[in-house]
A and B are shown apart, each in its own frame.
Chain A
């Protein structure tokens, strides 16, 4: 069974569209994250939720809105997509979000904005 899963795996869309990426973890972890990896493979945290509550919100445009319906799910909705949003988005989870434990990553969603 996949520990952290994301859908879709690939997403190609036009500028200005709104899209969502879904993430689910079956590890029973309390904390989930969204990361953005750019073309140079630089991995930057965007958001972190602990038990459905937002605990990290980096300097991310407010076009990006995470939603956590329960602690096993953390979805990412992006409004008014821009060319610069093209990247690979990774969801991850960890036991308690203290920065002292292993994070488990999903396979990534490759977003291309045309």
Chain B
């Protein structure tokens, strides 16, 4: 079954608000990654957090990882209309492929 499950499936907010997306997974991982997919485009890597890390920042992005709960969250602060996209988490284990979640569709209204 799918390793990563994201919540919510869809999120609609106003520009300037923060957006939080969650990802849960089932088995042990080596790392967890977040990707963005704009409509009609390929996936773009946002951030990678390793299993021994708890939090990571990149610009307006903040990712947390709780391996005891097998969950991660992606926070986008001060959202912009250009942040409208689908966001996917992907989990990686040693020696194996990345497994992608089903994505959260974020809509940021101007």
The answer to whether A and B interact is yes
Which A residues contact B (CB, under 8 angstroms)?
Answer: 4, 33, 40-45, 48, 56, 90, 92, 97-108
Interface size on B (CB < 8 Å)?
28
Known: A40-B102, A43-B100, A45-B97. A99 touches B45 (CB 8 A): no
Contact of B43 among A44, A90, A100, A101 (CB under 8 A): A90
The complex places the Cα of A101 from the Cα of B96 at a distance, in Å, of 11
For the complex formed, measure the closest distance between the CB of B31 and the CB atoms of chain A, giving whole angstroms.
Answer: 6
Which applies to chain B's interface (DSSP): helix, strand, loop or mixed? strand
Known: A100-B30, A104-B45. A48 touches B97 (CB 8 A): yes
Which B residues contact A (CB, under 8 angstroms)?
Answer: 2, 30-31, 33, 35, 37, 40-45, 48, 86, 88, 90, 92-100, 102-103, 105
Does B42 lie within 8 Å of A99, measured CB to CB?
no
Does B43 lie within 8 Å of A105, measured CB to CB?
yes
